[in-house]
Amino acid sequence: MAGRKGSGVLELAVLGLLHETPMHGYELRKRLNALLGMFRAFSYGSLYPCLKQLLEQGLIVEDRPEDPGGALTLQSRRSKIVYKLTADGKERLQQLLTEAGPAAWEDEGFGVRFAFFRHTDADVRLRILEGRRSRLEERLESFRAALARTRERVDSYTLELQNHGLESVEREVRWLNELIGRERAEQADGRSERRDERAEGTSADDISGGDR
């Protein structure tokens, strides 16, 4: 199960980055390390099997360098390959970006989903943020219960570590509260603007009808 989750996160990250621009494998590795490394350990050894799978599924294509004399080594040829997203790859990316179930807000996948929020519909963003907050609120309850049980039985360093974990989760919950508040306000503003536009259109039609 964990392996499938990890491969799904990597698939989304690769497709999302290639949607921004075609890349050589080396550049893709650097971008993935910057993206995934902030949230989870990224294994370089997992990239090329993922690329191979995406190629087989027709989600990406390779733009290979010309080598008429066969002068390039296998490593040189690989380093010069440019990976590009196909139409099917774009469709698959959009499908992944509409998913808002538990995998989107768990530790394994939330950071990558958040990195591509600009490509994600507003209602999906809100569901993911609310799901993440609910998960962390459950974690807070567990932390507080554990602290209450063990406070008198652990040494000061262990207690500091537990408090640090608790404070980290509390900070993220506050951050999520702010994001959720902004998302809701922006959605409300958008609905209000659409209502105003419809009202203006209706008024214009009424005026035109009266002129006739």
Tens-digit pLDDT profile for residues 91-125 = 999 999 999 999 999 988 899 999 999 999 999 99
Segment among 43-47, 89-93, 141-145 with least mean pLDDT:
43-47
Please give, one letter per residue, the 3-state secondary structure of 69-124.
CCCCCHHHHHHHCEEEECHHHHHHHHHHHHCCCHHHHCHHHHHHHHHCHHHCCHHH
pLDDT of residue 3: 44
Q: How far apart (Å, rounded) are the C-alpha atoms in residues 39 and 1?
A: 19
Asked whether 121 and 148 are in contact (CB, 8 A), the reply is no
pLDDT over 80 at 76, yes or no? no
Cα dist from 22 to 26, 37, 60, whole Å: 12, 21, 10
Using the predicted structure, report yes or no on whether residue 141 has a pLDDT greater than 90: yes
The answer to whether the predicted template modeling score (pTM) of the entire model surpasses 0.95 is no
Q: Is the dihedral of CA 53, 56, 62, 66 positive or negative?
A: positive
Residue 16 to residue 29: CA distance in whole angstroms? 13
